[in-house]
Structure 1
Amino acid sequence: MSFNTLGLSQALLKAISKKGYTTPSLIQQKAIPVILEQKDVLASAQTGTGKTAGFTLPMLQRLAETQKAKFRPIRALILTPTRELAAQVYTNVREYSAFLNLRSAVIFGGVNQKPQIETIRKGVDVLVATPGRLLDLQNQGVLSLKRVEIFVLDEADRMLDMGFLRDIERVIKLMPGQRQNLMFSATFSPDIKKLARGVLTNPVQVEVTPENSTADAIEQKVYRVAKGLKTGLIIKLISEGNWEQVLVFTRTKHGANKLCKKMVAAGITAAALHGNKSQGARTKALAGFKSGQVRVLVATDIAARGLDIPLLPHVVNFELPNVSEDYVHRIGRTGRAGASGEAISLVSADETTYLRAIEKLIGITLPIEIVAGFEPDPNASTIPEKRQQRPRNSNSKRTQGNRQNNRNERRSKPNNPKRSNKRSY
């Protein structure tokens, strides 16, 4: 099958050709015709399968076909959980609409809002946004969602993990009842299905892979190792393997900073990416990693969904996630768009429970290797290490790990120190 058979316009086909794409992915084959029919869609596909083009291409075609006045209200809204994902989606929207008379913009926090406001006031057809900055600018009267015709909720499961349910509900109330709704998620959990019932109308369900599956193109492997020897082992693997582009995941921001410093001390160029970094620092780190100037990017789970790095060869779990589904999202940064990749996990004794839960989730027993000189400690406890408990928000079902990784994504309004309900930018 080719893109020519999906009913897309010549302008979109020209943009697709410019990108070098010839054959649509399975999610694109299934989703594009249905979206062009103006039906609501609930779609699930593993990461790296082309979901963004699956909703962006038919959305742009619909908007281009009905473009009339010079005045440009926001007619399509794409809501994403993180800044990195918002920026990535916006880039794709711009590329695909290169030969269309449509304007797009992206808004998220961590940067000056003035340029974003100026762009919106000039007129925007497609707006890509994170929830916090969107609601902030709406409250300031900068933008209106009353003319939205198409609403896309991207990475819906991640949205719920990060505690954005109330923000999503607020955004929905700001849009007209008559609109097309598209919800894309890596999983169809009960919470996602419940959310879908409140957003979608008679949706067509599209699912191209088994839930929580991992791409066949990803070679997965476990190195059993003593906890205190992990840093030495990962430096050895990277150095002796001549790995040039490695995405490494840690569970905490402090752990990411600590590992990054040790990498640099060992002569490996590295940068950290997590919620405590400013948006400028995050953008610089990611740009350096993509260009090859930075060899290793050490990240927390804030990066598990929003990164699109073509042909990324190596992903390393320096620490296993305590939420099994996050393993799927982490390793999904490699093996994208049909390319091969390698996912390695360094597992100490106290992570045994996490490893078993991951294997149960993905239905695979991962092969185990032991490197001489980095053997696991036979006397170490297999009980997961307890992390410091923090006060739990009674209105949130998020895990402690997600709260910690995403705290910097949220801030209260200025000049109101008593305000406790924070939202993400």
Structure 2
Amino acid sequence: MLFTDLGLSEPILRAIAEEGYTSPTPIQAKSIPAVLKGGDLLAAAQTGTGKTAGFTLPILQRLSSTKSHHSKRVLRVLILTPTRELAAQVQESVVTYGKYTDLKSAVIFGGVGANPQIKAITAGLDILVATPGRLLDLMSQKCVSLNDIEILVLDEADRMLDMGFLRDIKKILAALPQQRQNLLFSATFSTEIKALADGLLNTPELIEVARSNSTNEAIAQLIHPVDRNKKHPLLARLIQSNNWKQVLVFTRTKHGANKLVTQLEKDGITSMAIHGNKSQTARTKALADFKAGILTALVATDIAARGIDIDQLPHVVNYDLPNVPEDYVHRIGRTGRAGSNGVAVSLVCVDEHQMLRDIEKLIKQKLPQEVIAGFEPDPNAVAQPIQLRSQQHQQARKPRPNGSHSSGAPKKAPAKRLNPPKRSFKH
């Protein structure tokens, strides 16, 4: 199947072709026709499947082919995302593929000044990409009206619930017109997501590209048993002895990410951390430097990493196993994309044995283990309790002094590669 088979207009097809893409990914092939029909949609799609274009392309098509009944430009589409990085990525997709239409869009987010965002809204928009906290701030100031919204998108809805945005989402929904098209995208169809969908969607079309508990066969998964105090030297050994050039490393806490970066830098391994306590400027620079190959290791927490989309990322390392098994699938899914192979390595200490069993139960496979010489774990080591993720979220969700939430977006998304090859795209 080609994009030319999906009922998209010439201006949109021209923008797609200029990006070097010809064929849709599976989620795009299913979601684009569904959105064009005008009905509600519930889609399970993980990061890296191309879901962003799966809704931005048909939305651009619908808006450009139907005129608003208002004499002036009014806001017709609202796209809600959980993080600033993802908001920027979605806005980039809207701008890129809508450049030959006359549609106007903007992105709003916390962590940066609101005045330029208010100015963009006042000038007139068709599409608004927003994180919930900043949107509610501007709604309370009467700076944005949702009275004419025709299409609502909840992107990565599972992560929004995970980050505590349910109350915010309900406040936003209450301000929307009753008659509208609703599109809900989630990595999983959890009980909470089904409850949200039941209250939001009207006889939706269901799309599930891959089971949420499945892992990509292009990803080689490996467990290295190791004592907790030897994880850092083992990681340094793996990077240096294998000459790894680009490694995305996951830690459980912000403090752990900072500590690991300091240790790796002492080993001569260029690295930076991204997490909720980092300034947006620092997060944007770290991600851009990592994509450009300036950094060898990018150390991230789960929440900060959501929205990171890097083509052909070769290595993902679970320095700490995630407390929630589904997050393991999300993490390692950032490698092995676009037809390339990837390696996902997990450093597992005695504290994490139950987490490993939960992950293997979820993905229905026993992961291979390899003990590295010199890093054999102490057979008499006793497990210690691990901080629960919910405790971290309570800390992460503390309101800022101005009442906004700690969600925002970079002023500028990282530069895209020039002259991308012809392939299915992953935006």
Residue 231 of structure 2 is matched in structure 1 by 230
The structure-2 alpha-carbon separation of the partners of 1:47 and 1:364, relative to structure 1 and needing over 3 Å to count, comes to farther
Residues 131 and 423 in structure 1, CA contact (< 8 A), matched pair in contact too:
no
Q: Give, in angstroms, the shift of residue 47 of structure 1.
A: 2.5
CA distance in 2, matches of 1:70, 1:334: 48
1:45-56 pair list within 5 angstroms: 45-56=45-56
Question: What is the CA deviation profile of residues 231-285 of structure 1, one whole-angstrom value per residue up to 9, with x for unaligned ones?
Answer: 0011111111111111101000000000001111111111110000111111111
Do residues 182 (structure 1) and 146 (structure 2) align? no
1:6-405 pair list within 5 angstroms: 6-67=6-67, 71-381=72-382, 383-387=383-387, 399-404=390-395
Q: Give, in angstroms, the shift of residue 412 of structure 1.
A: 4.8
Task: Work out which structure has the larger RCO, using CA pairs closer than 8 Å and 6 or more positions apart in sequence.
Answer: 2
Question: What is the CA deviation profile of residues 152-201 of structure 1, one whole-angstrom value per residue up to 9, with x for unaligned ones?
Answer: 00001111111111111111111111110000000001110110011111
CA distance in 1, matches of 2:285, 2:372: 34
Residues 222 and 369 in structure 1, CA contact (< 8 A), matched pair in contact too:
yes
Residues 49 and 337 in structure 1, CA contact (< 8 A), matched pair in contact too:
no
Q: Give, in angstroms, the shift of residue 73 of structure 1.
A: 1.7
CA distance in 2, matches of 1:49, 1:267: 34
TM-score (norm 2): 0.92
CA distance in 1, matches of 2:143, 2:233: 52
- Stretches of structure 1 lacking an aligned partner (at least 5 in a row): 390-397, 415-420
Q: Give, in angstroms, the shift of residue 385 of structure 1.
A: 2.0
Secondary structure, counterpart of 1:211 in structure 2: coil
Residues 310 and 334 in structure 2, CA contact (< 8 A), matched pair in contact too:
yes
Paired AA for residue 288 in structure 2: A
Q: Give, in angstroms, the shift of residue 217 of structure 1.
A: 1.7
Residue 407 of structure 1 is matched in structure 2 by 397
Paired AA for residue 27 in structure 2: I
Q: Give, in angstroms, the shift of residue 401 of structure 1.
A: 3.7
Secondary structure, counterpart of 2:397 in structure 1: helix
Residues 351 and 384 in structure 1, CA contact (< 8 A), matched pair in contact too:
no
Residues 353 and 384 in structure 1, CA contact (< 8 A), matched pair in contact too:
no
The structure-2 alpha-carbon separation of the partners of 1:243 and 1:3, relative to structure 1 and needing over 3 Å to count, comes to same
> Post-superposition, which runs of at least 4 consecutive aligned residues in structure 1 deviate over 4 A?
421-425
The structure-2 alpha-carbon separation of the partners of 1:325 and 1:70, relative to structure 1 and needing over 3 Å to count, comes to same
Q: Give, in angstroms, the shift of residue 302 of structure 1.
A: 1.4
Secondary structure, counterpart of 1:91 in structure 2: helix
Q: How many residues align?
A: 407
Residue 4 of structure 2 is matched in structure 1 by 4
Residues 27 and 51 in structure 1, CA contact (< 8 A), matched pair in contact too:
yes
Paired AA for residue 179 in structure 1: R
CA distance in 2, matches of 1:132, 1:185: 20
Paired AA for residue 113 in structure 2: N
Paired AA for residue 55 in structure 1: F
CA distance in 2, matches of 1:141, 1:194: 30
CA distance in 2, matches of 1:97, 1:287: 24
CA distance in 2, matches of 1:85, 1:148: 21
Residues 39 and 181 in structure 2, CA contact (< 8 A), matched pair in contact too:
yes
Q: Give, in angstroms, the shift of residue 423 of structure 1.
A: 6.9
Q: Give, in angstroms, the shift of residue 113 of structure 1.
A: 1.2
The structure-2 alpha-carbon separation of the partners of 1:238 and 1:57, relative to structure 1 and needing over 3 Å to count, comes to same
The structure-2 alpha-carbon separation of the partners of 1:155 and 1:229, relative to structure 1 and needing over 3 Å to count, comes to same
Once the two structures are aligned, what percentage of the paired residues are identical? Answer: 60
Residues 351 and 386 in structure 2, CA contact (< 8 A), matched pair in contact too:
no
CA distance in 2, matches of 1:423, 1:295: 28
Secondary structure, counterpart of 2:8 in structure 1: coil
Residues 248 and 299 in structure 2, CA contact (< 8 A), matched pair in contact too:
yes
Paired AA for residue 413 in structure 1: N
Residues 226 and 349 in structure 1, CA contact (< 8 A), matched pair in contact too:
yes
CA distance in 1, matches of 2:406, 2:52: 25
Residues 79 and 129 in structure 1, CA contact (< 8 A), matched pair in contact too:
yes
CA distance in 2, matches of 1:54, 1:413: 35
Residues 48 and 335 in structure 1, CA contact (< 8 A), matched pair in contact too:
no
Residues 91 and 105 in structure 2, CA contact (< 8 A), matched pair in contact too:
yes
The structure-2 alpha-carbon separation of the partners of 1:231 and 1:70, relative to structure 1 and needing over 3 Å to count, comes to farther
Q: Give, in angstroms, the shift of residue 104 of structure 1.
A: 1.1
Question: What is the CA deviation profile of residues 68-101 of structure 1, one whole-angstrom value per residue up to 9, with x for unaligned ones?
Answer: 5673221111100111111111111111112111
Residues 164 and 397 in structure 2, CA contact (< 8 A), matched pair in contact too:
no
Residues 41 and 183 in structure 2, CA contact (< 8 A), matched pair in contact too:
yes
Secondary structure, counterpart of 1:353 in structure 2: helix
Question: What is the CA deviation profile of residues 108-164 of structure 1, one whole-angstrom value per residue up to 9, with x for unaligned ones?
Answer: 111111111111111111111100000001111111111111100000111111111
Secondary structure, counterpart of 1:223 in structure 2: strand
Q: Give, in angstroms, the shift of residue 22 of structure 1.
A: 1.5
Residue 416 of structure 2 is matched in structure 1 by none
Residue 392 of structure 1 is matched in structure 2 by none
